[in-house]
Structure 1
Amino acid sequence: MEKKGTILMERYELGRLLGQGNFAKVYYARDVKNGQSVAIKVIDKEKSLKAGLSEQIKREISVMKLVKHLNVLQLYEVMATKSKIYIVLEYAKGGELFNKVAKGRLKEDIARWIFQQLISAVDCCHNRGVYHRDLKLENLLIDEDGGLKVSDFGLSALSESKRLDGMLHTMCGTPAYVAPEVINRKGYDGAKADIWSCGVILYVLMAGHLPFQEANLMEMYKKITRADYRCPNWFPSDVRRLLLKILDPNPNTRIPISKIMENSWFKKGLGTRPMRSKMDIKESPQVEIRPFTKKPELQKPSNLNAFDIISLSSGLDLSGLFIGDDKKEEIRFTSLQPASTIVSKLEEVATNLNLKVAKKDGGFMKLAGSGGARKEGVGIDVEIFEFAPSIHLVEMKKSNGDTFEYQKVLKLDIQPAISDIVWAWQ
């Protein structure tokens, strides 16, 4: 376990923890030779290998070496020991763009400046045959001057990944930002899918919320497939026209990056940093970032539509991190694994935790605590819903026992153990 003040490879002094996932932690660090601030991603080799992430890690490193751009997070070097991989990255002092926009929408010139940098970075990636495939606010970082840095290329694809039909076929990304044709599973153009995601990001920068938000799942499906969204009244007409061309559900007629760059609104002040503060926020009482108060009704597996996944993801609205008391006893996640694999994994985890498993028909399981004081009496109901052969929604909720102990079992034992079958947590 890395500690603050540790000197790595006689070169970098580790500082505070910036963030962490199931297989990696990111630390602030300082180059002891020149005092430069960096971020170091520390990956556990054994855990990542067991989770089958070795190819993803290799791809992320190779892509970041390939793409050199002012607005793409720079990779400085990669080091390794017997048990750890250390990826030394450019340090973005401002953190995630998500945290800025969650406070309120951006003023128009700031939003345009961010969008200009995003399009420039994505264009550079595409020119090098790289498709990001997971563009979202959480993967856009801000440096100390307010400049944009595109990060996290773990789900990216190279042009060599295309099949004979010239299309990509792997469904990935964060549902709220994913283009309709990606979930349609008939093959998609990586560049056009990235452009759709850029359009969603532009909308969020200007509005302070995502373009498609409905509690009713079928209404959500209809609106996304028709690109049926409403622009707030403060959106300029030229922004509305540009969004119509970007958020075009037909990838064949969707505007390409070259045409975005020729757009009159896009070109205003191009290359010039706005005179206002670096990340000027415009508070708006008309926009409230909040979780749904009404729980969406889940249908039986045979009736669920693949697009339902969009409304059940934390990426749906900017409030995914704010969970009310009524949600503490229930979690959901989506998985691209077959139902049999999900069931097998849950059985394996239950066995390791001394939990009894009772399977019932219709994708329903019950886990019950039987060993160890902490798990005694805790009961968890698990229900699996099928969208398509490889898209499943899994709902886990407390059936009995102490809520505090139930949450500890979920957070400390179950969630880390099943991370390799999870696509996205709600």
Structure 2
Amino acid sequence: MKKSTSSLVDNSKMAFFNDGNQLFTTAIDNNLQFLDQGIFQMTYQKKETLVTIYLAETILKICDKKQDRYINIENSYLRGVINQKSKQFGFRICKNGQHVEFFGIHLEFLNKIKIYMIQSDFQSKYQIISKIGNGYLSSVYKVQHTISGQECAVKIYEKSNLIKSSSYEKEFLMNEINILRQVNHKGLLTLQEIFEGEKNIYIVTELLEGGPIKKYIFNQNLSDQEMIKIMQSLFDSLNYLHKLNIYHTDIRFDNILLRDSMDLQSTCLINFGKAVQFPQKRRSIINLTPQEESAQKFYMKKDIYSLSIIILSIFTKKFYQENQLVDELLMKNFKNISYIEYMELSPTLQRFFEMIFTEKYKKEIDTLTCENILEFEVFKVPLKPRNSKIQISQNLKSLVRRTSKYEPRLSQREKLEQTLNIIKLPPIHGDSPTSTGKTHSTSPQSDRFISNQLASFLKAGHFTQRKNALKQNIII
């Protein structure tokens, strides 16, 4: 990113993201809350001035002793520069052929503003590893940051294709960038940087290594509680969007990925090109017209229906014609999914699907929000966590022991002591158990030994009786 001031060419006037506005602006929202970002040396039109920079959303407030100036940095161009005199690091902001430079080491400030701006040095910052996906006008690659080693994803657009395509395609791209810059939620894709080269546009985001959720949902035997947790995480992400007055409008399996394939709760919504936001100018306070309010309710219901069909697929392990079903539900036609009443589900799950998909609650659905849904009883069921492979292996190690069904053998001395001292005959006619049943080993070897010892003992007793009888001349 470090370049000398003299060698840096300003191509912002011919750039793809140029909106035609001047570098400095006077049109700002008076309700913005500016935060101090530090003191910089500003160079503008060959004049050097010491200034303090304040930041509020995408507006920079630049204050010196004489005046305050404002720059809207959204889609302006960010370049790294070095002051030829002081050799101090700084950055240049370019817009519509005009530029201003600031010198001072404030890396935290640069990290705050770079997601709103366009850079040009993608090849020097990232190395492409492999291709991981395709879109209509874009390709997605796995890349690695050359300095930090962090792996990311980059969506690459050819500028020539964007220029040749319809205006809608460019609008989808600009809309997705606009939405990604606003959101900050664990269940939504995170934007990192945007670059424009001579031929391509590069949108760098986090890498969602888990892949499509559809790949795992239908190949795993999940409990109802685990599926409910997936369902909860998705509605939580959608609720976050709706609170920002952002409506995805394109929720389907292909637009739900996992950060971690081992954690099905790490769901992440992607692809915001078709998203709709009310009001359109997020920094302005605008009262919606009745038509806009009606449209807002429509998009809210569409998102809820779309996500609920995904949830239904997860529980039934069936694919549905999502667009057709959503259209029918929006028209209050519940015939194609009336079988909800016959699904074998827990009572709380049954009530959830009945609320969304049956005619019984068609009036309530008009005012139902994601926030209402997250208050449903179905989400209050505690989840019993599964044992991980690590825990199981640790438990097995702690249970290493003799696994024979027989008890350990006694020594010869212990066997003789038991035989001579505590052996008794088995109980007869339901008598109380004798010590034999309580103490002797259950192994067949021990049983044979006891039998032999018992026979010897009886023989020895019989021999003694016969000897005494002979002495008394009594024949037995």
Which digits, 9 at most, give the CA deviation of each residue in 1:269-327, with x for residues without a partner? 4xx7943669xxxxxxxxxxxxxxxxxxxxxxxxxxxxxxxxxxxxxxxxxxxxxxxxx
Q: CA deviation at 1:168?
A: 6.6
User: Structure 2: how far apart are the matches of 1:93 and 1:277?
Assistant: 20
Counterpart position of 1:46:
160
Contact 2:208/2:257 (8 A) holds in 1: yes
Counterpart position of 2:214:
98
Match of 1:242 among 336, 343, 352: 352
Q: CA deviation at 1:208?
A: 0.9
Structure 1 residues not aligned, in runs of 5+: 1-6, 170-186, 279-426
Indicate whether 1:268 and 2:381 are aligned: yes
Letter in 1 for 2:352: L
Counterpart position of 2:369:
256
Counterpart position of 1:206:
315
User: Structure 2: how far apart are the matches of 1:157 and 1:223?
Assistant: 23
User: Structure 2: how far apart are the matches of 1:19 and 1:30?
Assistant: 16
Counterpart position of 2:76:
none
User: Structure 1: how far apart are the matches of 2:219 and 2:349?
Assistant: 22
Contact 1:118/1:148 (8 A) holds in 2: yes
Percent of paired sites with the same residue: 22
* Distance verdict in 2 for CA 1:160–1:17, change over 3 Å: same
Counterpart position of 2:179:
63
* Distance verdict in 2 for CA 1:56–1:221, change over 3 Å: closer
Which digits, 9 at most, give the CA deviation of each residue in 1:21-47, with x for residues without a partner? 231000111122222121110011221
Letter in 1 for 2:377: S
Letter in 2 for 1:75: L
Q: CA deviation at 1:230?
A: 2.4
Q: What SS is found at the alignment partner of 1:25?
A: strand
Q: CA deviation at 1:165?
A: 1.2
TM-score w.r.t. the length of structure 2 is 0.47
- Describe how 1:14-163 pairs up with structure 2 within 5 A: 14-51=128-165, 52=167, 53-103=169-219, 106-144=222-260, 145-146=262-263, 147-160=266-279
* Distance verdict in 2 for CA 1:112–1:277, change over 3 Å: farther
User: Structure 1: how far apart are the matches of 2:369 and 2:251?
Assistant: 16
Contact 1:105/1:208 (8 A) holds in 2: no
Contact 2:301/2:330 (8 A) holds in 1: no
Contact 1:18/1:26 (8 A) holds in 2: yes
Letter in 1 for 2:316: A
Q: What SS is found at the alignment partner of 1:189?
A: helix
Q: CA deviation at 1:157?
A: 0.3
* Distance verdict in 2 for CA 1:168–1:24, change over 3 Å: farther
User: Structure 2: how far apart are the matches of 1:84 and 1:224?
Assistant: 45
Letter in 1 for 2:357: L
User: Structure 2: how far apart are the matches of 1:222 and 1:55?
Assistant: 28
* Distance verdict in 2 for CA 1:38–1:132, change over 3 Å: same
Contact 1:238/1:265 (8 A) holds in 2: yes
* Distance verdict in 2 for CA 1:276–1:139, change over 3 Å: farther
**What is the total number of aligned residue pairs between the two structures?**
249
User: Structure 1: how far apart are the matches of 2:235 and 2:213?
Assistant: 15
Letter in 2 for 1:128: L
Which digits, 9 at most, give the CA deviation of each residue in 1:362-412, with x for residues without a partner? xxxxxxxxxxxxxxxxxxxxxxxxxxxxxxxxxxxxxxxxxxxxxxxxxxx
Contact 2:143/2:152 (8 A) holds in 1: yes
Counterpart position of 1:195:
304
CA RMSD of aligned residues (A): 3.2
Q: What SS is found at the alignment partner of 1:86?
A: strand
TM-score w.r.t. the length of structure 1 is 0.52
Q: What SS is found at the alignment partner of 1:228?
A: helix
Q: CA deviation at 1:260?
A: 1.3
